[in-house]
Structure 1
Amino acid sequence: MLSAQNAEVVRATLPVVGAAIGDITPIFYRRMFAAHPELERDLFNRGNQAQGDQQRALAGAIAAYASLLVSDNVAEPGDLLSRIANKHASLGILADQYDIVHKHLFEAIVEVLGDAVTPEVAAAWDEVYWDMAKALVTMETQLYLDSGVDPGQVWQQLTIRKRVQESPDTVSFALALPDDSPLPPARPGQYVSVAVRLPDGARQIRQYSLTRAPQRAYWGITVKAIPEMSNPDGGIIPEGEVSNFLHRNMFEGDELTVSRAFGDLLLDDTTAPLLFISAGIGCTPIIGMLHYLTRTESDRLVTVLHADRAPSRHAHRRELSELVERLPGARVHHWYEDLGVRPASDTTRAGRIDLTDVDVAPDSQVYLCGPLPFMEAVRAALIEREVPERNVHYEVFGPDKWLPQ
């Protein structure tokens, strides 16, 4: 925690720093990548950098953490840090890399705020940074220990045993160790990082939820090919580098560099009712949790709600229905923007997810996964239904924009 003196300085300067953080972070990344181009080439997501998503995520993390440190009657920042620490561990981040970030971040702060960064202000925000960094290093060290690896040594070579076209733009891969020995433990809801060497020599890393994660046999991941798109300003967002590389180049017998399993979206292991709500490729962690529930012959009350563009675009559609059928206390509802010639029914409807007619038990543990606007809308609807915020868990694909907890 911050010293009393520095807490007062941070509290007083938080509005100014918070307002400028969006200007600070692009300068920070530009400085850091100029000094360490290998970080942009081989560690950071180039697509998120180009779109500004990574900058906004860092800004949100710093502002949120500083606010928690100086606010009264708020929860400890452990939940916020846990998501970051798991992501870092899946990338193999090391403690000394925080020194690099510190140097270039504070140079950027001085460049933007100028004379407003007095020695007192610099000392206070320095303490914020190192408080956050030390907490993250502690968490990451424990995650490496729990995974049975030395810090940063998370990578392993896995062989693609099976490739399945799940929908026009999604492919699933079954991954195993080359000698088919047991895979490291993984928990339902976790993800792995996949690192690929692209044609220009860059090593790019992306995270994919585990759709199957028994402690033996194989892991399953599903990859959606991200197409080139137009943004609201009329510019072009390039196609996903890694997703399209995997679609076009990786087949049975090929090897992939894959991390150990990480992630804090872990399935609640009580007897409480479960409510799974997903959209699009957000179904993947839900599929992983349903596999676990069927494997353990769970009799919990499970409600699955999924939204997609059309039945033909719904990855794992048949698998989802089969898993629900195998659980005595489970039911599933679908919403599709385009039903085609399929008639609507009690369980398959046109349009977007609507919780109005869905029976939501007040003690349900809720798991959300999908685009951020989708999750924000569903979360608001759940709160209106008096579902406690602490019971709503979520997973974000890409940089976390800090959906309120």
Structure 2
Amino acid sequence: MLSDTARPVIEATLPLVGSRIGEITPVFYQKLFAAHPELLNGVFSRANQANGQQRQALAGSIAAFATHLVQNPGTLPEAVLSRIAHKHASLGITEDQYQIVYRYLFEAIAEDLAEVITPEIAQAWTEVYWLMADALIKIEKGLYAKQANSAMWSPWKIVEKTPASPTTMTFVFEPADATAVTPGEPGQYVSVRVPVSDGLLQARQYTLSADAESTQRRVITTKLTDGGEVSPVMHEEYGVGDVVELSNPYGDVTLDGGDEPIVLATAGIGCTPSASILRTLANSGSGRRVLALHADRSLDTWALYGQMLGDVERISDAELHVWLEQPQSEPAGVGAGAPAGVATREGFMNLDDVELPADANLYLCGPLPFMQKIRSQAIAKGIPATKIHYEVFGPDLWIASAN
């Protein structure tokens, strides 16, 4: 917790630092990469640097953490920390890197707030930083200890590469060496690390879209992203027989082990965690009540259409509702339209006429505005906020948008 000396200083300066953190973080990254360009080699995403998402997410997480310390003395924002720690572990972040970040972040703070900063302010915000850093280091050490191996990255061979829609591809990997395989959980992701055009390594997280618990294979479904660096390489340059580096599986938005009803609400490529959860429930013969909700442009563009429909049909108490911007009777390449009993609507997802089980756990994945809208509607329909879980692809801008 914050010391009695630091708390009033943070409370008094939080509005100022919070208002400037968006300008501080770009300077921080400039200083960091000038001194340590090696951190762009497989750790930090250049694409997320270019589009500003990484800076926005960092600023939001610092502001969220400091705000929590002021408003909730004696506690830490466990959900925020867990989400960040899982992303860090999937990139192999190490304890010594926190000292490097501290140096250049506080150089940027001192430079931006030169006219107002005092030793007392600097010390108080140093305390905030190390409270956050130490908490993350502890969580990350625990995650690394749970791995079946000590490797941050291991080689995996592509054994299948299949189009999942016009813009998405499903890859199936098998181990390419004897590294012990850490089983995943439905909803988790792995990082894929590949050399890009200039030889630099870049990493991207992709959800395990099927067979998450397997120790014999990894399955991911990726979308070709405009401006991305990893997905174009995977889609256009890699094929069956090629070997890529994968991390161990991470992610804290996973299928719970209870028997409460489950609501899966997704849009676009955000269907991948739901597909993984549905596959696990179907394979286990689960009798849980499952309500799968998905929104997409059309049946053509819905990645994993066939897998999700097939698994819903295999679950004894499951139903599927679909919203399509461009309805059509039959998806190209699948061979059949939506089966009887699937509720299909035109337009964007709306929960107004959907009956949600009151005691359900809701899992969200899709574009940020979609998740914010559906979360609000679900809360209005009686789902407690504590039972709503979300996954974000890339930097967590939901945290950032809340500050």
Where does residue 220 of structure 1 map in the other structure? 219
The answer on whether the counterparts of 1:33 and 1:40 sit within 8 Å (CA) in structure 2 is yes
Where does residue 118 of structure 1 map in the other structure? 118
Aligned residue for 1:115, secondary structure, equals coil
Q: What whole-Å deviation, never above 9, does each CA across 1:362-392 have from its counterpart, x for those lacking one? A: 1100000001011011111111112100000
Where does residue 368 of structure 2 map in the other structure? 372
Where does residue 356 of structure 1 map in the other structure? 352
The letter of the residue matching 2:263 is: L
Aligned-pair CA distance for 1:402? 2.9
The answer on whether the counterparts of 1:147 and 1:260 sit within 8 Å (CA) in structure 2 is yes
Aligned-pair CA distance for 1:348? 1.1
- The alpha-carbon distance between structure 1 residues 173 and 384, as it changes in their structure 2 partners (threshold 3 A), is same
- The alpha-carbon distance between structure 1 residues 73 and 66, as it changes in their structure 2 partners (threshold 3 A), is closer
Q: What whole-Å deviation, never above 9, does each CA across 1:274-328 have from its counterpart, x for those lacking one? A: 0000000000011111111112110000000000011100011011100000000
The answer on whether the counterparts of 1:170 and 1:315 sit within 8 Å (CA) in structure 2 is yes
Aligned-pair CA distance for 1:216? 3.2
The letter of the residue matching 2:37 is: P
Where does residue 334 of structure 1 map in the other structure? 322
The answer on whether the counterparts of 2:297 and 2:324 sit within 8 Å (CA) in structure 1 is yes
Whole-angstrom CA distance in 2 between matches of 1:87 and 1:320: 26
Q: What whole-Å deviation, never above 9, does each CA across 1:224-275 have from its counterpart, x for those lacking one? A: 0013xxxxxxxxxxx2111111000111111110000001001111010000
Aligned length: 392
Tell me which moved more, 355-364 or 127-136: 355-364
Where does residue 230 of structure 1 map in the other structure? none
The answer on whether the counterparts of 2:260 and 2:361 sit within 8 Å (CA) in structure 1 is yes
Aligned residue for 1:267, secondary structure, equals coil
Whole-angstrom CA distance in 2 between matches of 1:371 and 1:74: 34
Aligned-pair CA distance for 1:70? 1.0
Q: What whole-Å deviation, never above 9, does each CA across 1:135-171 have from its counterpart, x for those lacking one? A: 0000000000011344xx3211011111110101000
Aligned residue for 2:202, secondary structure, equals strand
Where does residue 171 of structure 2 map in the other structure? 173
Aligned residue for 1:69, secondary structure, equals helix
Q: What whole-Å deviation, never above 9, does each CA across 1:183-204 have from its counterpart, x for those lacking one? A: 3211111100000011201100
Question: Is the counterpart of residue 8 in structure 1 residue 8 in structure 2?
Answer: yes
Identity %: 45
Aligned-pair CA distance for 1:354? 1.3
Where does residue 194 of structure 2 map in the other structure? 196
Q: How do 1:231-380 and structure 2 match up within 5 A? A: 239-340=227-328, 347-380=343-376
The answer on whether the counterparts of 1:176 and 1:183 sit within 8 Å (CA) in structure 2 is no
The answer on whether the counterparts of 2:173 and 2:218 sit within 8 Å (CA) in structure 1 is yes
Tell me which moved more, 178-187 or 267-276: 178-187
Aligned-pair CA distance for 1:73? 7.6
Whole-angstrom CA distance in 2 between matches of 1:284 and 1:59: 28
Question: Is the counterpart of residue 84 in structure 1 residue 78 in structure 2?
Answer: no
Aligned-pair CA distance for 1:178? 2.6
Aligned residue for 2:56, secondary structure, equals helix
Whole-angstrom CA distance in 1 between matches of 2:148 and 2:124: 37
The letter of the residue matching 1:376 is: Q
- The alpha-carbon distance between structure 1 residues 24 and 331, as it changes in their structure 2 partners (threshold 3 A), is same
Aligned-pair CA distance for 1:182? 7.3
- The alpha-carbon distance between structure 1 residues 180 and 41, as it changes in their structure 2 partners (threshold 3 A), is closer
Which consecutive unaligned segments of at least 5 residues does structure 2 have? 331-336
Aligned-pair CA distance for 1:341? 5.2
The answer on whether the counterparts of 2:148 and 2:180 sit within 8 Å (CA) in structure 1 is no
The answer on whether the counterparts of 1:275 and 1:364 sit within 8 Å (CA) in structure 2 is yes
- The alpha-carbon distance between structure 1 residues 73 and 37, as it changes in their structure 2 partners (threshold 3 A), is closer
- The alpha-carbon distance between structure 1 residues 71 and 296, as it changes in their structure 2 partners (threshold 3 A), is same
Whole-angstrom CA distance in 2 between matches of 1:74 and 1:337: 47
Where does residue 204 of structure 2 map in the other structure? 206
Aligned residue for 1:313, secondary structure, equals coil
Question: Is the counterpart of residue 137 in structure 1 residue 133 in structure 2?
Answer: no
Aligned residue for 1:176, secondary structure, equals strand
Aligned-pair CA distance for 1:91? 0.2
Aligned-pair CA distance for 1:179? 6.1
The answer on whether the counterparts of 2:2 and 2:73 sit within 8 Å (CA) in structure 1 is no
The letter of the residue matching 1:335 is: W
Match of 1:397 among 387, 393, 396: 393
With the length of structure 1 as denominator, give the TM-score of the two structures: 0.93
Aligned residue for 1:16, secondary structure, equals helix
Aligned residue for 1:320, secondary structure, equals helix
Whole-angstrom CA distance in 1 between matches of 2:175 and 2:273: 22
The letter of the residue matching 1:162 is: E
Whole-angstrom CA distance in 1 between matches of 2:264 and 2:278: 10
The letter of the residue matching 2:393 is: F
